[in-house]
Structure 1
Amino acid sequence: MTAALPLFPLGTVLFPGLVLPLHIFEDRYRELVRDLIALPADEAREFGVIAIRSGWEVEHATPGGEPAAAPTPGSAPSLYDVGCSAVVRQVTEHPDGRFDIVTVGRRRFRVLDVDTTSAAYLNAEVEWLDEEPGEPGLADAIAPGVLAVFQRYLRMMRGDALPVGEQLPDDPNVLSHLVAATTTLTLDERQQLLALPDTASRLRTERSLLNREVTLLDQIRAVPANLSELATPSAPN
């Protein structure tokens, strides 16, 4: 099934179920937000977040903003082909026309074609990607191990136990998206996880990535401190 979807290119990867706040200041994306607000109340205010490979000042295309340098009319950056739609949950309009919006990732899509001329912002023809579990029973079998190493990773990153009352999802698909979004990974690694065809494949890849990150954190903690940092004044005899 294909659909038309306005695109918001960013230097980040959005996953289903994750919150993405954005500060909208560039004219083309102000227009996008106004068009979304104008939709009927019973229609989802949904647009596509797609990561940028290159072009449009990737280093400035991050949550909280947009590409800092406007492209020439009719041009498009080099985009990855799989993204995630975002649904607008909250809109705050400022007197100067800027917007602060809060969005939530909804569903994955693959870009089939990009229209650079019909609006100030990009529009695309996309196909929606189903959330397949993968081999029967495999995701359920892998998830507890991924959850265990993810909890260890979080404790190492925070330097203490997980906050009391904090719960991590036990649903394999939800867990796979949370791990992908919150683990320290490169843009390419996050994009690879988003594009994987099923939950089991994503969890299996995340297990490998988390084990790598935990090993690196263990090595960092094992590095001896400089002798100067350990020096203390000599005690009198």
Structure 2
Amino acid sequence: MTRFPIFPLPGAILYPRLQLPLHIFEPRYRAMVGDSLVRDRRIGVIQPQRPQDGAPLYTIGCLGKIGDVEATEDGRYNIILDGEARFRVLRELEVTTPFRQVEAELLIDNESQALAPIERASFEREARRFADAQGYSVDWEQVSRLDDFSLINGVSQIAPFDIAAKQALLEANDISERCELLVQLMQFFGRRVDGDDDGVTLQ
């Protein structure tokens, strides 16, 4: 078990080995970053279940370590969080700090896990179809050189899905399960876009 401050941010997802740039301007989160910088530089990124202040948290988030940091003259921060490990919240702590803190267990993902060739091929085929439908420009040669862990987590982090879908991807037990869910979501979202259905949601 470990204890750390959390940044409950709707729509923000971080994965191990990936990065998340953040602009910190609220006083409570400026205090959180300042406190983290003099401790171990670690902050948990997790989604609240509702966008209201103090809302209950989802159970799974990702612990990040502050890498690059820029402090502005007016006390704000621009930081880059480097993803270290997913975590499961055990309990939220009663604290006197302006920012929330949790006690959590770290989840160790198998970063060397590989997809079956048919899984990788199916994913890349669906990703090309989805990117074309969305009008995205993708360097597919560079994509083909990514290992499975970086590829699936990277797409999961930036995919234009709603909060519930992003959380489901983060909670997937392994790369194979996350890949399968990602393909399903791209197919679903792609069909809705093809149908010109406004207000697409995956909730």
TM surpasses 0.5: yes
Aligned residues between the structures:
195
Matched, 1:206 2:182: yes
Q: Does the Cα contact within 8 Å between 2:88 and 2:105 map onto a contact in 1?
A: yes
Residue identity opposite 2:52 in structure 1: W
Deviates more, 1:105-114 or 1:173-182: 173-182
Matched, 1:52 2:48: yes
CA distance in 2, matches of 1:91, 1:155: 36
DSSP 3-state at the match of 1:184: coil
1:70-90 deviation digits (Å, cap 9, x = unpaired)? xxxxxx421101001122111
Which 5+ residue runs of structure 1 have no aligned equivalent? 58-75, 221-237
Change (3 A) 1:30 1:123: same
Q: What is the aligned partner in structure 1 of residue 61 from structure 2?
A: 83
Change (3 A) 1:158 1:48: same
Larger Rg: 1
Q: What is the aligned partner in structure 2 of residue 156 from structure 1?
A: 133
CA distance in 2, matches of 1:93, 1:54: 30
Change (3 A) 1:138 1:164: closer
Which 5+ residue runs of structure 2 have no aligned equivalent? 197-203
Q: Does the Cα contact within 8 Å between 1:13 and 1:191 map onto a contact in 2?
A: no
| TM-score, reference length from structure 1 | 0.72
Change (3 A) 1:138 1:24: closer
Q: What is the aligned partner in structure 1 of residue 201 from structure 2?
A: none
Identity %: 27
CA distance in 2, matches of 1:90, 1:176: 24
CA distance in 2, matches of 1:210, 1:164: 17
List 4+ stretches of structure 1 deviating above 4 A: 136-140, 163-166
Change (3 A) 1:203 1:84: same
CA distance in 2, matches of 1:15, 1:117: 25
Q: What is the aligned partner in structure 2 of residue 19 from structure 1?
A: 19
Q: Does the Cα contact within 8 Å between 1:4 and 1:123 map onto a contact in 2?
A: yes
| TM-score, reference length from structure 2 | 0.83
Q: Once superposed, what is the RMSD of the aligned Cα atoms?
A: 2.5
CA distance in 1, matches of 2:131, 2:68: 29
1:189 to 136, 157, 165: 165
Q: What is the aligned partner in structure 2 of residue 64 from structure 1?
A: none
1:215-236 deviation digits (Å, cap 9, x = unpaired)? 334444xxxxxxxxxxxxxxxx
Residue identity opposite 1:11 in structure 2: P
CA distance in 1, matches of 2:85, 2:115: 22
- Per-residue deviation, 1:8: 0.8
DSSP 3-state at the match of 1:53: coil
Q: Does the Cα contact within 8 Å between 1:139 and 1:172 map onto a contact in 2?
A: no
Residue identity opposite 1:36 in structure 2: S
